[in-house]
Amino acid sequence: MTDRPQLRCASCEAKQCRDGKDCFLSASDHKKLYDDNNIAELHRTASAIEAQFYGRQTRLGETILLAKQLGCQKIGLAFCIGLSEEAKAIENIFSKHFQVVSVCCKTGGIDKKDFDLPQISSESQEVMCNPAGQAELLNHAESELNIICGLCVGHDAIFAKVSDAPVTTLIAKDRLLAHSPAGAVYCQYIRKQFSGNSTDK
Domain boundaries, the chain: 13-56, 58-200
Q: Which residue has the higher pLDDT, 2 or 82?
A: 82
Q: Quick count: other Cβ atoms within 10 Å of Cβ 125? A: 9
Kindly give the residue spans of alpha helices, DSSP state H, lying in 95-154: 131-141
E-assigned strand segments in the chain: 74-79, 99-104, 145-149, 167-171
**Domain 58-200 -> CATH class:** alpha beta
The per-residue pLDDT for 196 is 72
The per-residue pLDDT of the chain, averaged, comes to 94
The per-residue pLDDT for 85 is 98
**Close Cβ partners of 114 (under 8 Å, ≥ 6 residues apart):** 128
200 φ, ψ (degrees, to nearest 5):
-85, -5
36-45, 70-79, 140-149, 185-194: segment of lowest average pLDDT: 185-194
Q: How confident is the model at residue 195 (pLDDT cuts 50, 70, 90)?
A: confident
Q: How confident is the model at residue 197 (pLDDT cuts 50, 70, 90)?
A: low
Residue 156 has pLDDT above 50, yes or no: yes
**Close Cβ partners of 25 (under 8 Å, ≥ 6 residues apart):** 2, 4
The per-residue pLDDT for 107 is 98
CA angle 118, 124, 129 (to 5 degrees): 50
Q: What percent of the chain has pLDDT over 70?
A: 96
The per-residue pLDDT for 200 is 44
35-39, 159-163, 178-182, 194-198: segment of lowest average pLDDT: 194-198
Please give the average per-residue pLDDT across 182-196, as a whole number.
91
